[in-house]
Amino acid sequence: MAKWLMRLYAFIAIHLVWYLLSYRLGSYLIPRPDVVWIYLFGLIFKGTIFMHVLFSVFRILAAMSVAFLIGVPIGLLSGVNKPIDKWLSPIIYLLFPIPKIAFLPIFMGLFGLGDLSKIILLFSVLIFQLILSARDGVKQIPIEYHHVVKTLKLSKLKKVMKLYLPSALPNVISSLRVGVGISMAVLFFGENYATTYGMGYFIMNNWTMVNYKGMFAGIVVLAIIAAGLLTGIDLLERKLCRWLTYEQRHIV
């Protein structure tokens, strides 16, 4: 079935449940979707929501890009080099599960109240899972592939570009995909401190003003941003991991 048709199905299904909940629990608690959409179109028409969207998207994309550029090389190195893995993995295993949100005051103290502290917070959430996914991607390389690069005497750079990085990419991209959900949750929290821009601020501001239409409009926008990021990651995967299309085509 066409992808757009599946998206339409998801859109309709979610709206049906939303209508049902609004009907059962009362529209003062859960406003009806049509009311929220009309309110959202009003916000778009007035242009008030764009800066919030822009700030949130900028923060999340900046954190993802930096985490990717730093996390993937560290993960590859750890996957290839046993001593590095031996010393690095225990540290990552300890730091990875810690709720990074707890460090927001420290980040704000160190990096200021502006965007940087929020980007660092998101970065700290994403970096560990990217390191681990890249490392595991390299560790899963079959021994025969290592024999090939050894007997063909490939240079270190060529080994990275032709073997390690492509082996890790599917894992890394899956990890980015999972990271979108976690990042949105952390961003929502982080944008409630020392800022007047961002979807987190927008949603909470409407909440405290008991403007549930506005709050729900913000949640809808957050969902659209997340869907946009996930679609972007899908496109990135299709571009960088073209071979997967052929490997998975016949799997049922």
Partner 1 sequence: MIKTQNLTIDYGNDNGMFDVDLMIQEGEIYALIGPSGCGKTTLLHALAGLLTYDNGIIEITNRQGSAAKLGLVQQKDALFPWLKVWENTVLGLSGDKHTKLPVAISQLKALEIDEYLEVYPAQLSGGQRQRVSIARTLVSEPDVLLLDEPTASLDAFSKEALQDLLLKLHFNKARTTLFVTHSIEEALYLADKILIMDKGRIKVTYDNPLQHSYGLRDEPEFYEQVKVLRTLMNRGGMSG
Binding site for partner 1 (CB under 8 A): 142, 144-145, 147-148, 150-154, 162-163, 166, 169, 241-243, 246-247
CB 187 within 8 A of CB 137: no
Looking at residue 112, the DSSP 8-state letter turns out to be: -
In this structure, the number of other CB atoms found within 10 A of the CB of residue 54 comes to 12
Q: With respect to partner 1, which residue has the nearer C-beta, 164 or 212?
A: 164
- Which of 76, 88, 95, 175 has the alpha carbon at shortest distance from 135? 76
Looking at residue 98, the DSSP 8-state letter turns out to be: S
CB 138 within 8 A of CB 167: yes
Q: How far is the CB of 152 from partner 1 (least distance, A)?
A: 4
Alpha helices per DSSP H over 82-114? 82-95, 104-111
Q: How far is the CB of 251 from partner 1 (least distance, A)?
A: 11
Q: With respect to partner 1, which residue has the nearer C-beta, 63 or 163?
A: 163
Q: With respect to partner 1, which residue has the nearer C-beta, 24 or 153?
A: 153
Q: With respect to partner 1, which residue has the nearer C-beta, 42 or 166?
A: 166
| DSSP calls for 180-202 | HHHHHHHHHHHTTSS-S-SHHHH
Q: How far is the CB of 140 from partner 1 (least distance, A)?
A: 13
CB 122 within 8 A of CB 60: yes
Q: How far is the CB of 246 from partner 1 (least distance, A)?
A: 4
- Give me the amino acid identity at 61: L
Q: How far is the CB of 74 from partner 1 (least distance, A)?
A: 22
Q: How far is the CB of 161 from partner 1 (least distance, A)?
A: 11
